[in-house]
Structure 1
Amino acid sequence: MSAAKVNGGMSDVEKTLKVAAMGDLHVREDNSDSYRELFGEISKEADVLVLAGDLTDLGKPKEAELLAQDLKACSIPVVGVLGNHDYECGAHEEVAHILRDAGMKVLDGQSVEIDGVGFVGVKGFAGGFGRRMLGYFGEPAMKQFVNETMNETLRLENAMRQVRAKRSMVILHYAPVVDTIESEPLEIYPFLGSSRLAETIDRFKVNAIVHGHAHRGRFEGRTPGGQPVYNVAKHIEKPTGKPYAILDI
């Protein structure tokens, strides 16, 4: 654990940052699932709230506005990434703008430091895992698909190189390892994430990696380098028994 400065003062103290992490909120226009009460609860349990993508159901600005209203109940910093559902309507930039106006730090290849912990975020992309990972070969459409993953991993690496804090967390939407997507149908594994994300992360030392996207996966896994990965999709059973996980960083 590293030393974190308090209020910019002269002395340093050891401080564990409690991070609540959750993904796949899928806020809809009918506002059938309000998160206001849950965000209020999280504000009492954690120091930071991390949201791992698919914040809206169809990527509509109206859905983002409803989430922004619920975020008013959150009295702690909120940081996260968008997911594939947030891109559905082609209004992802407006969705991000609405959430940033509500105070959320929406990361898209950037990093931010909060109380001595660096948070790095990209959406990530698909492509498969291990020896079955898609290669850059064949039709232009296939190469474009693989390029998307490679571009995301490059942006992730560039963002991680900017982190100066000794502790860090990586926020993704797509999975970087196969461990945390187990129980999903094998046929859709290539569309749930990519090992290229884990390969990039393992060039650095991080405290935790979180992602969503795989609703039927499992909570915990490891990168090939042994770094902890958590699937924090709302639907995943977590040690807290809540829709969110609590991670000590």
Structure 2
Amino acid sequence: MADRTGSLKVAAIGDLHVKEEGQTSYRDLFGEISREADVLVLAGDLTDLGTAREAEILAEELRACAIPVVGVLGNHDYESGTPEEVCRILRQTGMRLLEGQSVEIEGVGFVGVKGFVGGFGRFTLGAFGEAAIKALVAESQHEAMRLENAMRHVASRRALVVLHYAPVAATVQGEPPEIFPFLGSSRLAETIDRFEVGAVVHGHAHRGTFEGRTPGGVPVYNVAIQIPKPNGRPYALLEL
């Protein structure tokens, strides 16, 4: 696990979109990650349609992973209306699925929520007008509050925040600007900047940009599998 300096190597990847038929096997990739890292982080959209069968396929693939696995769900994992079943199946593998919780591994606190939409900076959507808009903003605020509550339980001075939706606009650059409000929310970054955080990982924006920072300077990495990484692999390697 962690080396004698106390650092922990984390491999992070998102948006696997495991399908019932015709999916690419991740078994070899998980085996490689087990040799390269101490912990694997999965940043949501683990399945394509959120079905139990897709979760079972991923659970079987994860058997090739010999290191701890931490992750969050993404919007695709809710598509079939059974996210609880997806969670149940994946947790049977030993995976720590975080839904507003934290877990400490080798001195590093992993904190996770899915996050939600809402937009960034001065373009963040406000709770005004129709009930549907107010409900959307309330959900965005709720996810930020879940993140804050989880951060308050982190004892470690080193923390990695795991999201699916982006907390900053920088890592969604490359996507059509018209859909930026649906790719994440600055409310998440505002919460993150109130705590001591080493880094943030997220997915969701398949055509986004690998690296950005919160207004407070915390590094943010878009680890969707579709995003080119500096190491040339489908996953990012971070050292905490």
Using structure 1 for the length normalisation, give the TM-score.
0.95
**Residue 125 of structure 2 is aligned to residue 125 of structure 1:** no
Instruction: Please name the residue that 1:59 is paired with.
Output: 50
Kindly provide the CA deviation profile for residues 130-171 of structure 1, in whole angstroms up to 9, marking residues without a partner as x: 001000110000000000000000000000000001101000
* CA contact 1:202–1:227 (8 Å) conserved in 2: yes
Q: In 1, Cα distance between the equivalents of 2:120 and 2:153? A: 27
Q: CA deviation at 1:63?
A: 0.1
Tell me the number of residue pairs that the alignment of Structure 1 and Structure 2 aligns: 240
Q: In 2, Cα distance between the equivalents of 1:164 and 1:49? A: 21
Q: CA deviation at 1:103?
A: 1.1
**Residue 103 of structure 2 is aligned to residue 112 of structure 1:** yes
Q: In 1, Cα distance between the equivalents of 2:218 and 2:185? A: 16
Paired letter, 1:199: E
Please, which runs of 5 or more residues in structure 2 have no aligned partner? none
Q: In 2, Cα distance between the equivalents of 1:212 and 1:240? A: 17
Instruction: Please name the residue that 1:95 is paired with.
Output: 86
CA 236–163 in structure 1, closer or farther in 2 if over 3 Å, else same: same
Instruction: Please name the residue that 1:49 is paired with.
Output: 40
Paired letter, 1:222: R
Instruction: Please name the residue that 1:233 is paired with.
Output: 224
Paired letter, 1:125: F
What SS does the aligned partner of 2:150 have? helix
* CA contact 1:211–1:230 (8 Å) conserved in 2: yes
Written as runs of structure 1 = structure 2, the 5 A alignment for 1:165-180 is: 165-180=156-171
* CA contact 2:205–2:222 (8 Å) conserved in 1: yes
Q: In 2, Cα distance between the equivalents of 1:167 and 1:93? A: 29
What SS does the aligned partner of 2:64 have? coil
Using structure 2 for the length normalisation, give the TM-score.
0.98
What SS does the aligned partner of 2:233 have? coil
What SS does the aligned partner of 1:199 have? helix
Paired letter, 2:56: E
Consecutive aligned runs of 4 or more in structure 1 exceeding 6 Å deviation: none
* CA contact 1:55–1:82 (8 Å) conserved in 2: yes
Q: In 2, Cα distance between the equivalents of 1:70 and 1:111? A: 24
Q: CA deviation at 1:14?
A: 3.2
Q: In 2, Cα distance between the equivalents of 1:32 and 1:99? A: 18
Please, which runs of 5 or more residues in structure 1 have no aligned partner? 7-12
Kindly provide the CA deviation profile for residues 94-138 of structure 1, in whole angstroms up to 9, marking residues without a partner as x: 001100001110000000000000000000000000001000110
